[in-house]
Amino acid sequence: MKILVTGANGYIGSHVVDKLINMNHEVIAVDFNNNKINPKAKYLNVDILNEANQKNLYEILQKPDCAMHLAWQDGFNHYAQSHINNMVAHFNFIKNLIDSGIKSVSVMGTAHEIGYHEGKITENTPCNPLSYYGIAKNTLRELVFVYSKDKSVSIKWLRAYYITGDDRNNHSVFTKMLEADEKGQEEFPFTKGTNQFDFIDINELALQIATASVQNNIDGIINVCSGEPVALKDKAEEFIKENNLKIKLQLGVFPQRKYDSPVVYGDNLKIKQILENYYES
């Protein structure tokens, strides 16, 4: 299968490209840089947002069978104005591919669409986003689903949660722990760490994203996640042990953030079924 991956040089995208190539797919990798893109992929430097309304964009992108739209500016800055400014261009890009006849489109979603929630997040959980990032992603999803409902295209909205692994290219608390340890800090100021989140390693996430995208039996909102809540302090202690860090957590220095749920995790029934079907085939 010929698969287009936008944002292919990004933290998530570069790992997804590797998985797709390992699955023997032909990959068209689109981004502004290619220093992290697998050389077995065909690289295109195309400004997909500025060219979102280009009539022959589908042809420029090599007429892929499937598009995986992972590109998103300022993903780690949830209040960047770019989330709002670029949202319509993201929709027009996806609309252009659908109008050109593509049969499958996967789009990267986020748990930030939901806003504050306690417990399991399903595909039917109401959304009340609390940041520009969440608002833009939530609006894009609604627009894409409304536009595609009468079209012959499979839409997969891949909703991710808390990502770990390849931490030097991440912007998480685990990245900061690595940096602190390298500076020789003996303690790392922390919250109580009792909040429970749905953590997933970037390699497992990339596998879930790739596998969900290349099949068309299950679509709609698909939580790409572990489906298991884990306390932040437990995950941090595990991280310290696995990476042989000398630093120790200093629990309770910072208060719990008001917008962090005591426990939140994704319903992984769909992705489990997708993976089971893939390995059985």
Whole-number percent of the chain with pLDDT over 70: 100
Selecting among 133, 161, 162, 265, the annotated active-site residue is: 133
pLDDT of residue 170: 84
- Whether 279 is catalytic: no
CA distance linking residue 135 with residue 141, whole number of Å:
10
> What is the average per-residue pLDDT within 23-43?
97
What is the arithmetic mean of pLDDT over 237-255?
Answer: 95
Does residue 60 register a pLDDT over 90?
Answer: yes
Q: Write down the pTM of the prediction.
A: 0.95
Residue with tokens 């749905």: 198
Higher pLDDT residue, 114 or 259?
A: 114
pLDDT over 80 at 281, yes or no? no
Pairing outcome for strands 248-250 and 154-160 = unpaired
Contacts for 95-99: CB closer than 8 Å, 24+ residues apart: 95/147, 96/52, 96/53, 96/54, 96/57, 96/58, 97/57, 97/58, 97/67, 98/147, 98/148, 98/151, 98/153
pLDDT over 90, % of the chain: 93
- Structure confidence by residue, pLDDT tens digits, 11-25: 999 999 999 999 999
Q: Which amino acid is at 218?
A: I
Rounded Cα gap, residues 147 and 113, in angstroms: 19
Task: Report the alpha-carbon distance of residue 212 to residue 201 in Å, rounded.
Answer: 16
The vertex-70 CA angle with 69 and 74, nearest 5°, equals 130
- What is the per-residue pLDDT across 162-212, written as a single tens digit (0 to 9) for each? 999 988 888 899 999 999 999 999 999 999 999 999 999 999 999 999 999
The pLDDT confidence band at residue 260, using thresholds 50, 70 and 90, is: confident
Mean pLDDT of the residues in the chain: 96
pLDDT at 280: 81
Question: What CA–CA distances, in Å, run from 61 to 6, 140, 166?
Answer: 10, 22, 29
The domains located in the chain, with CATH, are: 2-163+199-226+265-280 (3.40.50.720), 165-197+229-250 (no CATH)
Is the pLDDT score of 69 beyond 80?
Answer: yes
Cα 80 to Cα 38, 62, 72, 90, 133, distances in angstroms:
29, 32, 12, 16, 8
* Structure confidence at residue 167 (pLDDT): 84
Beta-strand runs (E) in 94-243: 104-110, 119-121, 154-160, 162-164, 187-189, 196-201, 220-224, 229-231
pLDDT computed for residue 2 by the predictor = 98
Q: Which of 156, 210, 266 is closest to 12 using CA atoms?
A: 210
Buried (b) or exposed (e) across 153-177, using 16+ Cβ within 10 A? bbbbbbbbbbbbbbbeebebbbeeb
Residue with tokens 């689903």: 145
Q: Are 224 and 154 contacting, i.e. CB atoms less than 8 angstroms apart?
A: no
pLDDT of residue 259: 79
Q: In 125-217, which ranges are E strands?
A: 154-160, 162-164, 187-189, 196-201
Residue scoring higher pLDDT (96 or 216): 96
Question: Of 144, 14, 46, 135, which is closest to residue 90 (Cα–Cα)?
Answer: 144
- The better pLDDT of the pair 115, 169 is held by 115
The pLDDT of residue 254 is above 80: yes
